[in-house]
Structure 1
């Protein structure tokens, strides 16, 4: 099976929140990931494309989402200032860094938080609704420098002769088209959309960023050499027999239930998916054995041997 790969660059038009589980019981602080897993891009694209083709019932969203998973593979997407890509790396004993800068400096530039609460009918705050939301800024803040737009960059692979519900898929002009629909023009990614979060706009990918993306993801997504990989740029199922420099976490998330696919979506987040313990992005596996990894549709790495 052959693939076309397309480097992508999005400009953040509003703050971005990428939540994750598990969280501490009773916590009032909702942290964000500092990157966007491919699953979030898949979900955003499914949500954007389905109403353009169908009326938008749960079954139709499921059909389109399943088709996209068969024909596309998304990398994880990372932040950029237009010159470099801030990928994670547990490269030294100093701990986590992002594109060569410390975790603390990175978070100071890219992250912020907002305190919010629900207001009752009397105009006063409701009890137990005070919470703090961490988010990725849509403009980069650094002392003494003029602010600039934050970018989100990554790679998407499209199968040759791909079709979505018998509609041909075409890669051209730096985007993906189904008939005359530019399916990546403007999408909404992540959570807290009631605050206006997650709006992104596809822009042309500069030669500098395209070259960097080729270094990270210029390969066949079905055969990735672990020996050639400096650090993991997606989650990979944890193995007890491997030494590593990095971290592990339970990879879990909330999804819509699929037990009644004939109605509109209800019970948001009722179903919790759990992929078990995984090495996190940025982890360096310490092994001399060369093994091939695969990349699923959501940019998660998997063992093939």
Structure 2
């Protein structure tokens, strides 16, 4: 059975924190939402809506979603001439332009990572409370880095406008896809109980043939993206040379820690075109 590919837009209704390695007292955030976080949020909503039991079948629902659906990472987007345009990462190795930069997918603006972060990130103070004293616990004061719901003005020239997260969903099961479409808001990332990570779907997903401009083979058991630049954490396979950043990924699954994997970060690129399989966890791997 072939896959169907849809592009969807989630507007950010509150600050969003997707945790990554902290830096001193700053709890840093990723600038995108990994596919696994989207899978977890949708699984939670589907399980609660489809179960009349006191404890929903999260594991069963999650497995069903993993088998029949795949998700791309979601990237920050701004509205340009009535259309949401995502900002995508790109590692370069070219003299003064080496390192990570962000380019809008319409081929427009491009910003170095430091400048892009200034446009989209905010910080919030946080601390743990000592219940015995009802005050801040010793040595727990932190700053929490978040993606802001509003783009920051640049030199006072741009008016403040909303931030959305844009990506793609692939599905083999029309019935499950219709159930997912009934979900119009989700909570993703850290501190969701305090109101962070609230996303609301902005419009009706449209069926597409390309993923962020890259061709996708929708016929194999797992969809395959043809690209030179990976837009998800990508596991190594074969002697493919990348320009980018090497990192370690892992997570929790069914109450236990998953095995850690070394992977290339989103935005890493190769010199030639390759096919990358979108796996159940949302990670990519060279075909």
Q: TM-score range by the shorter chain?
A: 0.7 to 0.9
- Normalised by the length of structure 2, the TM-score is 0.83
Q: CA deviation at 1:243?
A: 2.5
Q: Show structure 1 runs of 4+ deviating over 6 A.
A: 56-59
Which whole-Å CA distance do the structure 2 matches of 1:39 and 1:177 have between them? 20
Q: What CA distance in whole angstroms lies between the structure 2 residues aligned with 1:296 and 1:57?
A: 32
Secondary structure at the residue paired with 1:7? strand
- 1:188 is aligned to 2:199: no
Task: Quote the Cα distance in structure 2 between the aligned partners of 1:190 and 1:283.
Answer: 24
Structure 1 unaligned regions, length at least 5? 170-175, 258-270
Matched residue count:
268
Once the two structures are superposed, the pairs formed by residues 1-305 of structure 1 within 5 Å of their partners are 1-20=1-20, 27-55=24-52, 60-83=57-80, 84-93=85-94, 94=97, 95-99=99-103, 100-120=110-130, 121-143=132-154, 144=156, 145-159=158-172, 162=173, 168-169=175-176, 176-178=177-179, 182-204=181-203, 213=211, 215-216=213-214, 218-220=216-218, 222=222, 224=224, 228-238=226-236, 241-255=239-253, 257=255, 271-286=256-271, 288=272, 291-304=274-287
Distance 1:155 1:217 in 2: 13
Q: Give me the CA root mean square deviation.
A: 2.7
Residues 41-81 of structure 1: CA deviation (Å, up to 9, x unaligned): 00000111111111466671000000000111101111101
Question: Could you report, residue by residue, the CA deviation over 1:73-129 in whole angstroms, capped at 9, with x for unpaired residues?
Answer: 101111101232111001343211111211111100111111211233434321122
TM-score by length of 1: 0.78
Displacement of 1:223 after TM fit?
5.2
Q: Which runs of 5+ in 2 are unaligned?
A: 104-109
For the residues of structure 1 that align with 2:141 and 2:191, how far apart are their CA atoms?
Answer: 15
Summarize deviations over 1:230-265 as a string: whole Å, max 9, x none. Answer: 3111111135833221111001224551xxxxxxxx
In the superposition, relative to structure 1, how do residues 101 and 185 fare at CA in structure 2: closer, same or farther (>3 Å)? same
| Residues 1:184 and 1:241: Cα distance change in structure 2 (over 3 Å) | same
